[in-house]
Amino acid sequence: MISKVQLRLQFLVLLWGFTGVFGKLVTMSALPMVWYRVLIGAIAVFIYMKFRKMDFKVTKNELLRLLAIGGIVGIHWFTFYLSIKLSNISIALSTLSMGALFSAILEPIFFKRRINLLEIILAIIVSACVAVIFNASPEDYKLGIIIGILCSFLSALFAVLNSRLPKSIKPTKVTLYEMIGGVIALSVVMILFQPEAISEVVNISWSNLGWLTLLGVIFTAFAQIESVDLLKHVSAFTLMLNVNLEPVYGIILASIIFGDSEHMNPIFYIATGVMVLSIIMNGILKTRFSK
């Protein structure tokens, strides 16, 4: 029988899989959309911490590190939604699986450890699958795939950097200050490189504001807080293993909601399936060998 914790875990992954859908529901361009998502998420976490009377204090060094990582997180979300705008949800989610490949490269560099043979095999499989997806996709989706690959690199980078943070910093603090860092980074990018997006921020429609509030509060702030709470009941490995199902949930949801615009050829689904299965098998084999 499925336990309550397992149901909560699958619901969390479903929430994360749903975030890509907002890339089509929100009619704004990618940059102001993510700016609002991060800002609303930060406000929601602040209210939550204030309500729970949590401590906001961090050292100056910790604050600078969190803001810097938050900048990477913000740019990661920007490239994710930009990939959706340039291709579709299915493409953006499938390329996220390359995060495992970049983690296999970055972790030995940051932690000064030897490269794992299993990770090299995984990297080869994932790279081959992405190459198949790239060649099988329509020509006008190619830029979206490239942006999606950059997005997956940034996701691996901030995950590795977060894993190096002191364990004494509570996850709610990490989330709050990283989101603030994301708002700052995205504001700078907007002012310097896309000033025309400022008008979208100022003249946001009520429908877009409604979708973004839902995205920022439920699918960003609540999802993060829920993941932190779940780690009291399951291991980090179990959580991350289930996160690999996010592209599966996201692609299924996108196909149901948007229909033909999300339908890809069979080769795409085979390659995506192989990627997800190889990542899950990699996690299972690592656990067995470590034991």
Written as tens digits, the pLDDT of the chain (291 aa) is 557 877 888 888 888 888 888 888 899 999 999 999 999 999 999 999 999 889 899 899 999 999 999 999 899 999 999 998 898 887 887 787 777 678 777 877 887 777 777 767 777 777 787 778 777 777 788 899 899 999 988 988 888 888 777 777 888 898 899 999 999 999 999 999 999 999 999 999 999 999 999 999 998 888 877 876 776 676 555 565 566 677 777 777 777 777 765 566 777 778 777 777 776 776 666 666 665
What pLDDT is attached to residue 185?
Answer: 96
What pLDDT is attached to residue 2?
Answer: 58
What pLDDT is attached to residue 160?
Answer: 82
What pLDDT is attached to residue 70?
Answer: 92
Q: What is the pTM of this model?
A: 0.83
CA atoms within 13 A on the CB side of 194: 17
What pLDDT is attached to residue 49?
Answer: 92
What pLDDT is attached to residue 235?
Answer: 55
Contact 241, 280 (CB under 8 A): yes
Q: Output the six-digit token pair for 34.
A: 């993510």
Angle at 37 between CA 250 and CA 152, to 5 degrees: 50
What pLDDT is attached to residue 179?
Answer: 92
Containing structural domain, residue 210: 4-290
What pLDDT is attached to residue 238?
Answer: 58
Domain count, the chain: 1
Compute the residue count for the chain.
291
What pLDDT is attached to residue 1?
Answer: 53
Looking at residue 21, what DSSP letter applies? G
What is the rounded CA–CA span in Å between residue 264 and residue 141? 11
CA distances for 167 relative to 150, 155, 162, 171, angstroms: 28, 20, 10, 9
Contact 149, 95 (CB under 8 A): yes
AA identity, residue 7: L
